[in-house]
Amino acid sequence: MKTQVAIIGGGPSGLLLSQLLHLQGIDTVVLERKTKDYVLGRIRAGVLEIGLVNQMRAAGVAERMDKEGIIHHGTVISYGDDQIGINFSDHVDATVMVYGQTEVTRDLYTAREAMNGKIVFDVEGVQINDADTDAPYVTYTVDGSEQRLDCDYVAGCDGFHGVSRQTIPAETRREFEKVYPFGWLGILSKTPPVHDELIYASSDIGFALCSMRNANLSRYYVQCDLSDKVENWSDAAFWDALKRRIPEEHADNLITGPSIEKSIAPLRSFVSEPMKWGRLFLCGDAAHIVPPTGAKGLNTAASDVHYLSQALIQFYDNGDQAGIDGYSAKALARVWKAERFSWWMTSLLHRFPGQSDFDFKMQQAEVAFLKDNANAQAVLAQNYVGLPY
Protein backbone atom coordinates (compact mmCIF):
# COMPACT_ATOMS: atom_id res chain seq x y z
CA MET A 1 0.00 0.00 0.00
CA LYS A 2 1.16 3.56 -0.70
CA THR A 3 0.04 6.95 0.56
CA GLN A 4 1.33 10.48 0.73
CA VAL A 5 1.25 10.88 4.53
CA ALA A 6 1.27 7.93 6.93
CA ILE A 7 -0.26 8.93 10.27
CA ILE A 8 0.62 6.83 13.31
CA GLY A 9 -2.14 7.15 15.89
CA GLY A 10 -5.92 7.38 15.53
CA GLY A 11 -6.61 9.81 18.37
CA PRO A 12 -7.87 13.37 17.86
CA SER A 13 -4.58 14.82 16.56
CA GLY A 14 -4.06 12.08 13.97
CA LEU A 15 -7.67 12.23 12.83
CA LEU A 16 -7.73 16.03 12.63
CA LEU A 17 -4.53 16.03 10.58
CA SER A 18 -5.98 13.38 8.26
CA GLN A 19 -9.22 15.33 7.82
CA LEU A 20 -7.51 18.67 7.10
CA LEU A 21 -5.17 17.07 4.54
CA HIS A 22 -7.99 15.10 2.90
CA LEU A 23 -9.93 18.31 2.28
CA GLN A 24 -6.92 19.58 0.31
CA GLY A 25 -6.66 16.41 -1.77
CA ILE A 26 -3.73 14.90 0.15
CA ASP A 27 -3.96 11.16 0.71
CA THR A 28 -3.40 9.73 4.19
CA VAL A 29 -3.59 6.39 5.98
CA VAL A 30 -4.12 6.33 9.76
CA LEU A 31 -2.72 3.41 11.77
CA GLU A 32 -4.22 2.85 15.24
CA ARG A 33 -3.04 0.12 17.61
CA LYS A 34 -6.37 -0.08 19.49
CA THR A 35 -9.99 -0.50 18.42
CA LYS A 36 -12.25 2.42 17.65
CA ASP A 37 -14.38 1.63 20.74
CA TYR A 38 -11.27 1.67 22.92
CA VAL A 39 -10.19 5.07 21.62
CA LEU A 40 -13.67 6.48 22.17
CA GLY A 41 -13.75 5.03 25.69
CA ARG A 42 -10.85 7.16 26.90
CA ILE A 43 -11.90 9.99 29.23
CA ARG A 44 -9.93 13.15 28.55
CA ALA A 45 -10.09 16.92 29.00
CA GLY A 46 -12.76 19.02 27.40
CA VAL A 47 -11.68 22.69 27.23
CA LEU A 48 -11.00 23.75 23.63
CA GLU A 49 -8.99 26.86 22.80
CA ILE A 50 -10.34 29.17 20.13
CA GLY A 51 -7.65 27.88 17.75
CA LEU A 52 -8.89 24.30 18.01
CA VAL A 53 -12.51 25.42 17.71
CA ASN A 54 -11.63 27.19 14.47
CA GLN A 55 -9.75 24.13 13.18
CA MET A 56 -12.79 21.95 13.84
CA ARG A 57 -14.84 24.35 11.77
CA ALA A 58 -12.25 24.44 9.00
CA ALA A 59 -12.25 20.63 9.00
CA GLY A 60 -16.03 20.53 8.56
CA VAL A 61 -16.63 18.69 11.83
CA ALA A 62 -18.01 21.46 14.04
CA GLU A 63 -21.77 21.06 13.65
CA ARG A 64 -22.34 19.04 16.84
CA MET A 65 -19.68 20.99 18.75
CA ASP A 66 -21.33 24.31 17.91
CA LYS A 67 -24.73 22.91 18.92
CA GLU A 68 -23.79 21.05 22.12
CA GLY A 69 -20.56 22.71 23.27
CA ILE A 70 -20.67 25.23 26.09
CA ILE A 71 -19.04 28.60 25.44
CA HIS A 72 -17.12 29.88 28.46
CA HIS A 73 -16.39 33.56 28.88
CA GLY A 74 -14.15 33.17 31.91
CA THR A 75 -12.92 31.07 34.79
CA VAL A 76 -12.62 31.32 38.57
CA ILE A 77 -9.41 31.10 40.57
CA SER A 78 -10.03 30.60 44.29
CA TYR A 79 -7.66 30.66 47.22
CA GLY A 80 -9.55 29.51 50.28
CA ASP A 81 -12.84 31.42 50.13
CA ASP A 82 -11.28 34.29 48.18
CA GLN A 83 -12.34 34.19 44.51
CA ILE A 84 -10.91 35.89 41.43
CA GLY A 85 -13.15 35.95 38.38
CA ILE A 86 -11.15 36.10 35.15
CA ASN A 87 -13.40 37.39 32.36
CA PHE A 88 -11.84 36.39 29.04
CA SER A 89 -14.06 38.66 27.00
CA ASP A 90 -13.03 41.73 29.01
CA HIS A 91 -9.33 41.03 28.62
CA VAL A 92 -8.86 39.39 25.22
CA ASP A 93 -12.27 39.41 23.51
CA ALA A 94 -12.20 35.63 23.10
CA THR A 95 -13.76 32.53 24.66
CA VAL A 96 -13.14 28.82 25.11
CA MET A 97 -15.46 25.91 24.36
CA VAL A 98 -16.23 23.10 26.81
CA TYR A 99 -16.68 20.01 24.64
CA GLY A 100 -15.25 16.64 25.60
CA GLN A 101 -12.21 15.26 23.82
CA THR A 102 -14.13 12.01 23.32
CA GLU A 103 -16.78 13.96 21.39
CA VAL A 104 -14.09 15.68 19.29
CA THR A 105 -12.70 12.25 18.43
CA ARG A 106 -16.16 10.86 17.68
CA ASP A 107 -16.94 13.72 15.29
CA LEU A 108 -13.64 13.23 13.49
CA TYR A 109 -14.22 9.48 13.10
CA THR A 110 -17.66 10.17 11.67
CA ALA A 111 -16.20 12.60 9.14
CA ARG A 112 -13.34 10.33 8.11
CA GLU A 113 -15.71 7.38 7.62
CA ALA A 114 -18.14 9.51 5.59
CA MET A 115 -15.25 10.39 3.27
CA ASN A 116 -13.97 6.81 3.12
CA GLY A 117 -10.84 7.80 4.99
CA LYS A 118 -8.34 4.99 5.41
CA ILE A 119 -8.04 3.99 9.08
CA VAL A 120 -6.51 0.67 10.07
CA PHE A 121 -7.27 -0.51 13.62
CA ASP A 122 -5.64 -3.17 15.81
CA VAL A 123 -2.22 -2.74 14.25
CA GLU A 124 0.74 -4.31 16.03
CA GLY A 125 4.51 -4.05 15.76
CA VAL A 126 4.57 -0.67 14.02
CA GLN A 127 8.03 0.31 12.80
CA ILE A 128 8.98 3.50 10.99
CA ASN A 129 11.73 2.80 8.48
CA ASP A 130 14.14 5.02 6.52
CA ALA A 131 12.60 8.24 7.87
CA ASP A 132 15.93 9.95 7.24
CA THR A 133 15.77 9.17 3.51
CA ASP A 134 13.56 10.26 0.61
CA ALA A 135 11.61 6.98 0.74
CA PRO A 136 10.25 6.31 4.25
CA TYR A 137 7.91 3.41 4.89
CA VAL A 138 6.01 1.90 7.80
CA THR A 139 5.71 -1.79 8.56
CA TYR A 140 3.08 -3.29 10.85
CA THR A 141 1.01 -6.41 11.47
CA VAL A 142 -2.77 -6.82 11.27
CA ASP A 143 -4.43 -10.14 12.09
CA GLY A 144 -1.03 -11.83 11.94
CA SER A 145 -0.33 -10.53 8.43
CA GLU A 146 2.70 -8.30 7.87
CA GLN A 147 1.98 -5.10 5.95
CA ARG A 148 4.07 -2.34 4.39
CA LEU A 149 2.96 1.25 3.86
CA ASP A 150 5.15 3.37 1.58
CA CYS A 151 4.77 7.12 1.96
CA ASP A 152 6.27 10.55 1.40
CA TYR A 153 6.08 11.59 5.06
CA VAL A 154 5.24 10.10 8.47
CA ALA A 155 3.30 11.97 11.16
CA GLY A 156 3.79 10.51 14.64
CA CYS A 157 0.57 11.19 16.55
CA ASP A 158 0.87 8.08 18.73
CA GLY A 159 1.29 9.55 22.18
CA PHE A 160 3.98 9.43 24.84
CA HIS A 161 4.37 5.64 24.72
CA GLY A 162 4.26 5.32 20.92
CA VAL A 163 7.05 4.34 18.56
CA SER A 164 7.43 7.65 16.74
CA ARG A 165 9.57 9.55 19.22
CA GLN A 166 11.75 6.49 19.85
CA THR A 167 12.42 6.28 16.11
CA ILE A 168 14.47 9.48 16.35
CA PRO A 169 18.01 8.41 17.36
CA ALA A 170 18.80 8.97 21.03
CA GLU A 171 21.86 11.04 20.14
CA THR A 172 19.62 13.40 18.16
CA ARG A 173 16.88 13.80 20.76
CA ARG A 174 17.03 16.05 23.80
CA GLU A 175 14.36 15.51 26.43
CA PHE A 176 13.26 17.86 29.21
CA GLU A 177 11.08 16.61 32.06
CA LYS A 178 9.63 17.64 35.40
CA VAL A 179 7.64 15.10 37.41
CA TYR A 180 5.33 16.64 40.00
CA PRO A 181 5.10 15.02 43.46
CA PHE A 182 1.32 14.52 43.39
CA GLY A 183 -1.50 13.33 41.16
CA TRP A 184 -5.11 14.19 40.42
CA LEU A 185 -7.96 11.96 41.54
CA GLY A 186 -10.80 12.60 39.11
CA ILE A 187 -14.41 11.47 38.96
CA LEU A 188 -17.17 11.79 36.39
CA SER A 189 -20.71 12.06 37.77
CA LYS A 190 -24.18 12.50 36.33
CA THR A 191 -24.77 15.67 38.29
CA PRO A 192 -25.18 19.32 37.26
CA PRO A 193 -21.99 21.41 37.49
CA VAL A 194 -21.54 23.37 40.70
CA HIS A 195 -20.84 26.59 38.75
CA ASP A 196 -21.27 27.99 35.25
CA GLU A 197 -17.49 28.43 34.86
CA LEU A 198 -14.58 26.18 35.78
CA ILE A 199 -13.24 26.69 39.31
CA TYR A 200 -9.51 26.22 39.94
CA ALA A 201 -9.30 26.01 43.73
CA SER A 202 -6.32 26.16 46.06
CA SER A 203 -6.71 25.39 49.76
CA ASP A 204 -4.64 24.50 52.80
CA ILE A 205 -5.28 20.80 52.12
CA GLY A 206 -4.58 20.87 48.38
CA PHE A 207 -5.90 21.68 44.93
CA ALA A 208 -9.31 20.96 43.39
CA LEU A 209 -10.91 21.58 40.00
CA CYS A 210 -14.61 21.83 39.24
CA SER A 211 -15.30 21.21 35.56
CA MET A 212 -18.08 19.80 33.41
CA ARG A 213 -18.92 17.97 30.20
CA ASN A 214 -22.48 19.24 29.82
CA ALA A 215 -25.40 20.54 31.90
CA ASN A 216 -25.89 17.15 33.56
CA LEU A 217 -22.39 15.67 33.53
CA SER A 218 -19.66 17.00 35.81
CA ARG A 219 -15.94 16.33 36.05
CA TYR A 220 -14.22 17.00 39.38
CA TYR A 221 -10.64 16.54 40.59
CA VAL A 222 -8.75 16.72 43.87
CA GLN A 223 -4.99 16.66 44.43
CA CYS A 224 -3.77 13.37 45.92
CA ASP A 225 -0.54 11.55 46.75
CA LEU A 226 1.24 9.80 43.90
CA SER A 227 1.16 6.57 45.91
CA ASP A 228 -2.61 6.76 46.42
CA LYS A 229 -4.99 4.18 44.96
CA VAL A 230 -8.47 4.65 43.53
CA GLU A 231 -9.81 1.93 45.79
CA ASN A 232 -8.82 4.04 48.81
CA TRP A 233 -11.41 6.63 47.80
CA SER A 234 -15.11 6.02 48.29
CA ASP A 235 -17.46 8.44 46.58
CA ALA A 236 -18.33 9.92 49.98
CA ALA A 237 -14.65 10.52 50.76
CA PHE A 238 -14.14 12.25 47.43
CA TRP A 239 -17.12 14.57 47.82
CA ASP A 240 -15.99 15.47 51.34
CA ALA A 241 -12.46 16.30 50.12
CA LEU A 242 -13.84 18.40 47.26
CA LYS A 243 -16.18 20.38 49.51
CA ARG A 244 -13.35 21.23 51.89
CA ARG A 245 -11.19 22.61 49.05
CA ILE A 246 -13.60 24.88 47.20
CA PRO A 247 -15.16 28.16 48.43
CA GLU A 248 -17.96 27.66 50.95
CA GLU A 249 -20.67 29.16 48.74
CA HIS A 250 -19.94 26.54 46.05
CA ALA A 251 -19.54 23.71 48.55
CA ASP A 252 -23.02 24.50 49.88
CA ASN A 253 -24.47 24.30 46.34
CA LEU A 254 -22.61 21.13 45.28
CA ILE A 255 -24.92 18.33 44.13
CA THR A 256 -23.30 14.94 44.66
CA GLY A 257 -24.04 11.53 43.23
CA PRO A 258 -22.45 8.19 42.38
CA SER A 259 -19.32 8.33 40.23
CA ILE A 260 -19.46 6.71 36.81
CA GLU A 261 -15.68 6.88 36.32
CA LYS A 262 -12.85 7.35 38.79
CA SER A 263 -9.12 7.47 38.11
CA ILE A 264 -5.80 8.89 39.31
CA ALA A 265 -3.50 10.68 36.86
CA PRO A 266 0.13 11.62 37.59
CA LEU A 267 1.33 15.07 36.55
CA ARG A 268 4.41 15.80 34.47
CA SER A 269 5.88 18.38 32.12
CA PHE A 270 7.82 16.88 29.22
CA VAL A 271 9.24 18.10 25.90
CA SER A 272 11.32 16.22 23.34
CA GLU A 273 13.34 18.18 20.77
CA PRO A 274 13.41 18.25 17.79
CA MET A 275 9.89 17.49 16.56
CA LYS A 276 11.14 16.65 13.06
CA TRP A 277 13.72 14.11 11.93
CA GLY A 278 14.11 13.58 8.22
CA ARG A 279 10.57 12.95 6.95
CA LEU A 280 9.16 12.08 10.37
CA PHE A 281 7.18 14.68 12.33
CA LEU A 282 6.02 14.42 15.94
CA CYS A 283 2.63 15.77 17.01
CA GLY A 284 1.01 16.11 20.42
CA ASP A 285 1.87 13.76 23.29
CA ALA A 286 4.49 12.02 21.15
CA ALA A 287 6.59 15.16 21.64
CA HIS A 288 5.28 16.90 24.74
CA ILE A 289 3.17 16.46 27.88
CA VAL A 290 1.72 19.17 30.12
CA PRO A 291 0.07 18.86 33.52
CA PRO A 292 -3.70 19.26 33.08
CA THR A 293 -3.75 22.53 35.03
CA GLY A 294 -4.63 25.06 32.35
CA ALA A 295 -6.12 22.57 29.85
CA LYS A 296 -3.30 22.61 27.30
CA GLY A 297 -2.79 18.93 26.39
CA LEU A 298 -5.22 18.53 23.49
CA ASN A 299 -4.77 22.17 22.54
CA THR A 300 -1.00 21.97 22.09
CA ALA A 301 -1.54 18.88 19.93
CA ALA A 302 -3.98 20.94 17.86
CA SER A 303 -1.43 23.70 17.33
CA ASP A 304 1.07 21.09 16.12
CA VAL A 305 -1.54 19.82 13.67
CA HIS A 306 -2.13 23.36 12.43
CA TYR A 307 1.56 23.97 11.71
CA LEU A 308 2.09 20.54 10.16
CA SER A 309 -1.05 20.55 8.01
CA GLN A 310 -0.21 24.01 6.67
CA ALA A 311 3.37 22.93 5.92
CA LEU A 312 2.27 19.80 4.04
CA ILE A 313 -0.43 21.64 2.12
CA GLN A 314 2.12 24.27 1.12
CA PHE A 315 4.49 21.57 -0.12
CA TYR A 316 1.91 19.60 -2.10
CA ASP A 317 0.43 22.80 -3.56
CA ASN A 318 3.62 24.32 -4.95
CA GLY A 319 6.63 22.30 -3.80
CA ASP A 320 7.61 24.90 -1.18
CA GLN A 321 9.40 23.12 1.70
CA ALA A 322 9.79 26.19 3.95
CA GLY A 323 6.96 25.11 6.25
CA ILE A 324 8.23 21.55 6.48
CA ASP A 325 11.77 22.70 7.25
CA GLY A 326 10.54 25.15 9.88
CA TYR A 327 7.91 22.91 11.49
CA SER A 328 9.87 21.85 14.56
CA ALA A 329 11.07 25.32 15.50
CA LYS A 330 7.64 26.90 15.01
CA ALA A 331 5.78 24.18 16.91
CA LEU A 332 8.26 24.16 19.79
CA ALA A 333 8.13 27.94 20.20
CA ARG A 334 4.43 27.69 21.03
CA VAL A 335 4.75 24.44 22.97
CA TRP A 336 7.23 25.96 25.42
CA LYS A 337 4.88 28.88 26.08
CA ALA A 338 2.08 26.43 26.84
CA GLU A 339 4.47 24.44 29.06
CA ARG A 340 5.30 27.64 30.96
CA PHE A 341 1.64 28.47 31.53
CA SER A 342 0.78 24.95 32.70
CA TRP A 343 3.81 24.89 35.02
CA TRP A 344 2.85 28.31 36.43
CA MET A 345 -0.76 27.32 37.09
CA THR A 346 0.36 24.08 38.71
CA SER A 347 2.96 25.79 40.90
CA LEU A 348 0.52 28.50 41.93
CA LEU A 349 -2.39 26.34 43.03
CA HIS A 350 -1.02 23.10 44.50
CA ARG A 351 0.44 22.24 47.86
CA PHE A 352 3.88 20.68 47.46
CA PRO A 353 5.43 18.17 49.90
CA GLY A 354 7.98 19.96 52.05
CA GLN A 355 6.69 23.36 51.02
CA SER A 356 8.26 26.02 53.27
CA ASP A 357 6.49 28.96 54.89
CA PHE A 358 8.33 31.20 52.42
CA ASP A 359 7.04 29.18 49.46
CA PHE A 360 3.52 29.43 50.84
CA LYS A 361 3.85 33.20 51.25
CA MET A 362 5.04 33.47 47.64
CA GLN A 363 1.92 31.66 46.45
CA GLN A 364 -0.23 34.02 48.49
CA ALA A 365 1.60 37.05 47.08
CA GLU A 366 1.19 35.76 43.52
CA VAL A 367 -2.54 35.28 44.05
CA ALA A 368 -2.86 38.75 45.61
CA PHE A 369 -1.05 40.27 42.63
CA LEU A 370 -3.34 38.41 40.23
CA LYS A 371 -6.40 39.63 42.11
CA ASP A 372 -5.36 43.28 42.10
CA ASN A 373 -3.69 43.60 38.71
CA ALA A 374 -5.71 43.74 35.50
CA ASN A 375 -2.59 43.17 33.40
CA ALA A 376 -1.85 39.93 35.26
CA GLN A 377 -5.42 38.79 34.67
CA ALA A 378 -5.09 39.66 30.99
CA VAL A 379 -1.95 37.51 30.72
CA LEU A 380 -3.79 34.57 32.30
CA ALA A 381 -6.77 35.09 29.99
CA GLN A 382 -4.57 35.37 26.91
CA ASN A 383 -2.83 32.09 27.70
CA TYR A 384 -6.00 30.27 28.72
CA VAL A 385 -8.00 31.02 25.57
CA GLY A 386 -4.89 30.12 23.55
CA LEU A 387 -1.97 32.01 22.11
CA PRO A 388 -2.29 32.74 18.38
CA TYR A 389 -0.86 30.20 15.95
Domains of the chain, residue spans: 5-71+95-177+268-347, 180-267+353-385
Homologous superfamily in CATH for domain 5-71+95-177+268-347: FAD/NAD(P)-binding domain (3.50.50.60)
Topology alike, domains 5-71+95-177+268-347 and 180-267+353-385: no
Q: Of 195, 296, 306, 330, which residue is the catalytic one?
A: 296
Q: Is 137 a catalytic residue?
A: no
Of residues 14, 12, 16, the one with CA closest to residue 42: 12
Q: Of 247, 292, 316, 350, which residue is the catalytic one?
A: 292
**Tens digit of pLDDT per residue, the chain (389 long)?**
999 999 999 999 999 999 999 999 999 999 999 998 889 887 676 899 999 999 999 999 999 999 999 999 999 999 988 999 999 989 998 999 999 899 999 999 999 999 999 999 999 999 999 999 999 999 999 999 999 999 999 999 999 999 999 999 999 999 999 999 999 999 999 999 999 999 999 999 999 999 998 889 999 999 999 999 999 999 999 999 999 999 999 999 999 999 999 999 999 999 999 999 999 999 999 999 999 998 999 999 999 999 999 999 999 999 999 999 999 999 999 999 999 999 999 999 999 999 999 999 999 999 999 999 999 999 999 999 999 99
Q: Of 200, 221, 307, 316, which residue is the catalytic one?
A: 200
CA–CA dist 24, 5 (Å, integer): 13
Q: Of 109, 137, 316, 384, which residue is the catalytic one?
A: 384
CA–CA dist 52, 209 (Å, integer): 22
Q: Is 72 a catalytic residue?
A: yes
CA–CA dist 48, 67 (Å, integer): 15
CA–CA dist 356, 67 (Å, integer): 48
Q: Is 307 a catalytic residue?
A: no
- CB under 8 Å to 292, separation ≥6 — which residues? 45, 184, 221, 265, 267, 342
- The CATH code of the domain at 180-267+353-385 is 3.30.9.10
Q: Of 12, 22, 72, 316, which residue is the catalytic one?
A: 72
CA–CA dist 372, 305 (Å, integer): 37
Q: Is 200 a catalytic residue?
A: yes
Q: Is 292 a catalytic residue?
A: yes
